[in-house]
């Protein structure tokens, strides 16, 4: 799948893309919609979401308005994620594609950057995804953004206790060691997303549920989110060498739609893709099944403490 022309017809399929109002998420929403899917755009800001939807509809006037819908979703509030999932489940009887695209790469430390958002979103939507997977001819996929930067996760963080989900490091933007802390936090969140994907797939296989879970590294993309880990003075230079958001969206579109993935599930299940069709082993740590189970367990503990 080198370009959008190789995305198959998605008519009749329902997708949710978190963080779908800008960057790679916006391009992903646009391609899914132009290829026939009904797409829910998960975003906090109604005005930005509506602006994104209007932009896609004005460019592609043959897409009917009912095929693009804003789903109110504030990923910083666990209770709001639950509400959004319940709302979607009341609107739809199926969900074929879930793309956990929203991510944070910021100087400011936020606990939700630790992989919480995709975990809650998936767990709340699993009944709808499983119901879709049980139908004839289904092709259900859960795609979560990770990164080869998972290798920068701090060596001492083994996701053993809930404290490991919010390891702040230091956050002084003028301090070099602090900048390293930003990278290590980013790495920890991407490692968490990859481990989560692998453990999710293991659980789905154990239950014999026909869903493929994949992690994807879109590569260096010139978006505000993608450049959040870099100091400001580097950003103008990086924009010149990084991929455009439409190119950056291709790996996750491949994960979500490519026929090859459905045809060769054993090759792709629980894998990290760095380009269309290209799997990457990831670090030793990312393949540690005990670590993945531990992360799942402490995440469930942490969610219980916030009442979920």
55: helix, coil or strand? helix
Domains observed in the chain: 4-305 (3.40.50.720)
Choose the catalytic residue: 40, 186, 254, 268. 186
Residue in 218, 211, 200, 174 with CA at minimum distance from that of residue 115: 200
Give the pLDDT of the chain (308 residues) as one tens digit per residue: 445 657 999 999 999 999 999 889 999 999 999 999 999 999 999 999 999 999 999 999 999 999 999 999 988 788 899 999 999 999 999 999 999 987 654 444 344 444 566 788 898 999 999 999 999 999 999 999 998 989 988 888 888 888 887 765 544 445 545 556 767 777 888 899 999 999 999 999 999 999 999 999 988 754 555 545 556 656 566 565 556 778 889 999 999 999 999 999 999 999 999 999 999 999 999 999 999 999 999 989 888 888 88
Torsion of CA 47, 48, 54, 59, to 10 degrees: 160
Judge whether 254 counts as a catalytic residue: no
Strands 272-275 and 278-280: antiparallel
pLDDT, tens digit, 9 for 90 and up, residues 193-235: 999 999 999 999 999 999 999 999 988 754 555 545 556 656 5
Alpha helical stretches, state H, the chain: 23-34, 46-59, 78-91, 116-133, 176-206, 235-241, 245-248, 250-257, 259-263, 265-268, 289-305
Q: How far is CA 279 from CA 188, 216, 255, 271, in A?
A: 20, 9, 11, 6
Task: Write phi, then psi, for 278 (nearest 5 degrees).
Answer: -110, 110
What gap in Å lies between CA 23 and CA 221, rounded to an integer? 9
At 187 the pLDDT is 84
Instruction: Check residue 205 and give its pLDDT.
Output: 98
Specify the pLDDT at position 161: 86
Q: What is the pLDDT of residues 133-146, one digit of tens each?
A: 999 999 999 999 99
């Amino acid at each position: 799948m080198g370009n959008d022309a190789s995305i198959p017809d998605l008519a009749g399929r329902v997708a949710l893309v978190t963080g779908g109002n800008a960057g790679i998420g916006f391009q992903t929403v646009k391609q899914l919609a132009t290829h026939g899917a009904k797409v829910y755009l998960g975003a906090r800001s109604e005005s930005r979401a509506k602006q994104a939807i209007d932009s896609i509809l004005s460019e592609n006037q043959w897409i009917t308005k009912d095929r693009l819908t804003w789903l109110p979703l504030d990923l910083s509030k666990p209770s709001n994620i639950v509400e959004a999932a319940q709302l979607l489940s009341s609107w739809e009887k199926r969900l074929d594609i879930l793309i956990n695209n929203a991510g944070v790469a910021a100087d400011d430390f936020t606990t939700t950057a630790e992989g919480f958002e995709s975990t809650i979103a998936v767990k709340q939507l699993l009944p709808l995804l499983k119901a879709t997977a049980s139908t004839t001819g289904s092709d259900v996929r859960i795609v979560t953004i990770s990164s080869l930067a998972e290798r920068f996760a701090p060596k001492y963080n083994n996701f053993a206790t809930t404290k490991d989900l919010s390891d702040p490091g230091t956050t002084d933007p003028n301090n070099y060691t602090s900048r390293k802390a930003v990278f290590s936090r980013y790495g920890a969140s991407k490692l968490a997303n990859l481990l989560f994907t692998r453990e999710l797939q293991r659980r789905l296989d154990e239950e014999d549920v026909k869903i493929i879970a994949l992690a994807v590294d879109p590569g260096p993309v010139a978006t505000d989110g993608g450049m959040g880990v870099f100091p400001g003075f580097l950003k103008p230079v990086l924009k010149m060498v990084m991929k455009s958001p439409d190119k950056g969206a291709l790996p996750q579109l491949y994960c979500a739609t490519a026929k090859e993935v459905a045809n060769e599930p054993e090759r792709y299940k629980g894998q990290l893709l760095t380009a269309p069709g290209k799997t990457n082993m990831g670090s030793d740590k990312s393949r540690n099944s005990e670590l993945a189970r531990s992360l799942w367990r402490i995440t469930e503990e942490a969610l219980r403490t916030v009442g979920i």
